[in-house]
Amino acid sequence: MNLRTSITAKLFLSVLAACATVLLVQTLTFRISFQRDFLDYLNDQGSASMARLMPRLAAAYQQRGSWAFLESDGTAWVELMRPQGDFDEITRNLSIADQTGALMRTGLLDTRLQRIAGNFRVSASSMRQAVIVDGRTVGWLAMLPFQEMMSINDARFLEKQRRVWAIIGVASLAIIALLTFFLTRPLLRRVRTLAGATHRLAAGNYASRIEVGPLDELGTLAQDFNRMAGALERNEGARRALMADISHELRTPLTVMLAELEAVQDGIRQPGPQSLHALHQEMTRLGKLIDDLHDLALTDIGALACQRVPVDLATILRSALDGIDERRQAKDLQLVVQIAAVPLIILGDERRLHQLFANLFENTLRYTDHGAQVHVACLRSADAVTILVEDSGPGVPEDKLARLFERFYRVESSRNRASGGSGLGLAICRNIAEAHEGRISASTSPLGGLRISVVLALALAAA
């Protein structure tokens, strides 16, 4: 719960902080632009107005020899500062600085920077330009900066603008917060759904699934999660089935041996060749099952020892067929073999390949009806050889073919436990074929039964 709250808070605050930062930057930029750029613009225009007055001030000083006339005549300064020309020309040429009272902010300082005339607030710290007559400074024309002369109404206007911007900022933040909340709710809901499903999956609920929704990054993640959950569910089912099958397969021979031994101990049966033969058969069956489990475990983890050396596949096939010849004849199976007379050289492990084909032939021998047909053929191509092992029945339903190579899987209707198999042979065959970079598959045989195809690369093609 803390994790989900943290994600929600972090996402909400991150978006809100980003928007608030943008708004703050805009506000500061506006204030800096207004105070620095606009006011500096007005002050620069005031300086330009001062420059235009300089020739007039210099001429007045040169004509009178001093500034005494300004001290004795209060109207002289006003006349000196008054724009020259007719009214229409004056109004056309007035700058913004003049229109905002630049002349009213102007005053005259003597060489000691003491006020002579004009605005009473001008001083050495004001904007000023030297009045030069005959190469010497005779005074200073000074002007108060615009911001120092703002009227009460001007100050109120600026303060009102600041309040408006503050209100706009607060309202914008509120709108941003609401939009962030409503826009991130669907995203956060999907994240919380994914987190909840992950917790359920970690707790062992492998049936947990997520609605995919839009195929964005989270949708793709949901698809991957569902595939992972499906794989874990199948693996868990296979694990439970494997444990049940292993316990069943191990219990059967142990139960038979225990019954035989108890019968001997109780005096019901006397120790003899018959009882010893029965115990030997069950021990052999148990040993074969343990060997199959060991081989399957090794092939599953890729630790099965395979020495890839050139071997003749035709020789291995004939040897594996010889191993079941006696039992094939006892079951009256009609065997048709089509193996090339020339060597079929592949890179592989002779012992493991013999195990592969022995398991295939054992599977055919065990599950094929008495008197059925069995065909074994090799089909060579330019770079590979295909081994076909097929029988005349019983067949396997189409929907069951893909599962034949699963461990302990049997088609109960026709190839069942009564035949004595552990259900591991074909799984081991698949792993051995894959260890040799080959492939194995099952399909329906034209003879009416099952066809197993094994494809392996020829050594020349591999080279």
Domain spans in the chain, listed from the N-terminal domain onward: 2-152, 217-300, 309-462
Contact of 289 with 249, CB cutoff 8 Å:
yes
User: What's the average model confidence in pLDDT over 118-127?
Assistant: 84
User: What's the average model confidence in pLDDT over 176-192?
Assistant: 78
Question: What is the CATH number that goes with domain 217-300?
Answer: 1.10.287.130
Question: Domain 309-462, what architecture?
Answer: 2-Layer Sandwich (3.30)
Average pLDDT, the chain: 78
Instruction: Write the CA distances from 410 to 3, 245, 396, 430, 440, integer angstroms.
Output: 47, 11, 10, 15, 17
pLDDT range class, residue 387, cuts 50, 70, 90: very high
pLDDT in tens, 72-85: 776 788 788 776 65
Fold equal for 217-300 and 309-462: no
pLDDT in tens, 247-287: 766 777 788 788 878 887 887 777 777 777 777 777 877 77
CA distance linking residue 306 with residue 353, whole number of Å? 9
What DSSP designation does 371 have? Answer: T
pLDDT range class, residue 374, cuts 50, 70, 90: very high
User: What's the average model confidence in pLDDT over 186-210?
Assistant: 84
Given a cut of 60, whether residue 367 has pLDDT beyond it is: yes
Contact of 129 with 55, CB cutoff 8 Å:
no
Lowest mean pLDDT among 131-140, 208-217, 438-447: 208-217
Note the pTM of the prediction, 2 decimals.
0.47
The letter for the amino acid at 407 is R
pLDDT in tens, 399-425: 888 888 877 666 654 444 444 555 677
